[in-house]
Each structure stands twice: as C-alpha cells, then as structure tokens.
Amino acid sequence: MAFTVCQCPVSTTLTSIVTNINACKVEVGQIQKLIFWRHSQHLDAAASAISSAVWTAHLTATGDSKAVVSPFVSLIIPPTEAREVGSGNEVLDGIPILIGAQSIKAEGHIWQTDQATIAKLKKLTCEDTDVMFINENNQLVYNLNGALVEGFPVTSLFISDAATGSSTDGTKNLFSFYLSPNWSDNLTITAATTFLLDMVNS
C-alpha cells in the first residue's frame, strides 16, 4: 500500500483518535537483533511471541517455518517521506499535490562479525522474507495482523562485504532493506523477555 486509502464519500464523522488521556507511551528503543523468516509465516497468538519454546521450535525447524536470527546489529529506520507532484504555476497556489509516500530504506551496521556468518546472511537476499526486531529491552517488535504475529515484509535486502577498520573505525558490514509505506501501522511491542537477545541459530 503506497498511501492511506481514502473513503469516498467520506464517513459521517471523523474517526476518534485519542480515547485515553493516560495512554501508554510506545518506544521501540535501539534495535539490536533481527529475526527473518519466509513471507507468510506467522504465530497464531501474541502470547506465542514471548514463548522460548515457540521460538526454539522455529529456530530448529527444517521447513518453511524456520526462523533465523541475525548477529548483533545497529539499525536505523528513518521516517516516511511524502511523494509529491507539481510546483509553481503547475498547481493551485504553488502547493505540490500529495500522491503517496516513499518506501523507507532501513540501514545498519554489523560490527566485527565472522565473515562466514555474513556469507550465510547474504543468502537471505535470494529469499522472500519478513523481518521482526529485537530491541535493547529484550522485547520483540512485530506486525499484529488481527490476532496473528507477523513480520514486516522486506524488499531488496543487501549485505555488504567487509569494510576494514582503521585507528578510528572498526571492521563492519553494512546492510540495508526497504520497508513499504505504512509499514508501522500495526507495529506492536511485546513485554520484556529474558531470552530473545540470547537466541542463536541451530
């Protein structure tokens, strides 16, 4: 979806937005690991997202349900930018017309990691994957689709070769991928766990 689909004719009234004066604050925090699995995979309930047994089953699976976890990463996801057309006398009052939103390029670093691990990570560039995030608080950040726990669809995943260090910079691999506009509309964060950041592949 490139932009919010507008209802025409408009609804009778505006949709209520703030319904609780003391609404809980939402903070993703620093993303430190990524979980990838094939697109269309999901968990059936939110409680499963914080179950060590559930994730062990997915990490050890041998079919489409297998999940893989990244090394520790540093990742930045920028805000969405508008897609606009027209300027000057082309448009009324010289104000560009909003026609949608840009896809978002998320970029990050993987520091001081064995390149055999990076080579395996590169294989994901040939897959149709979704991604979930593990933050600094051992929480899972995922896409809630009804009752289903899903990842966020990834496009054009890229993993660089090693960038060698210097006296002021360490050895690292760069990576990037694209997220679609409105990717975070159903973003959900679990309660803190004791195991997510410790998960490894098998």
pLDDT digits (tens, 9 = 90+) for 95-114: 999 998 999 999 999 999 99
The pLDDT assigned to 1 comes to 47
User: Among residues of the chain, what percentage have pLDDT more than 90?
Assistant: 84
**Which of 19-23, 44-48, 136-140, 141-145 shows the lowest mean pLDDT across its residues?**
19-23
**For residue range 152-196, what is the model confidence (pLDDT) as tens digits?**
999 999 999 999 978 888 999 999 999 999 999 999 999 999 999
Average pLDDT in the chain: 94
Q: E strands, the chain, where?
A: 31-38, 67-69, 74-76, 82-85, 97-101, 104-111, 129-135, 140-145, 148-150, 152-153, 155-163, 172-179, 187-189
103 alpha carbon, distance to own chain's centre? 12
Decide if 151 contacts 132 (C-beta within 8 A): yes
Give the start-to-end residue ranges of the domains of the chain: 31-198
Cα distance between residue 197 and residue 133, in whole Å: 10
DSSP state of 180: -
Residues 66-90, mean pLDDT to the nearest whole number: 96
Residues 69-86, mean pLDDT to the nearest whole number: 96
pTM for this prediction: 0.91
**For residue range 103-150, what is the model confidence (pLDDT) as tens digits?**
999 999 999 999 999 999 999 999 999 999 999 999 999 999 999 999
Give residue 4's pLDDT band: very low, low, confident or very high (50, 70, 90).
low
Question: How is residue 107 written in tokens?
Answer: 């970029």
**Residue type at 183 in one-letter notation:** W
Alpha carbons within 13 angstroms on the beta-carbon side of residue 131 total 25
Decide if 159 contacts 169 (C-beta within 8 A): no
Q: Is 174 exposed, middle or buried (0-12, 13-18, 19+ CB in 10 A)?
A: middle
CB atoms within 10 A of CB 40: 11
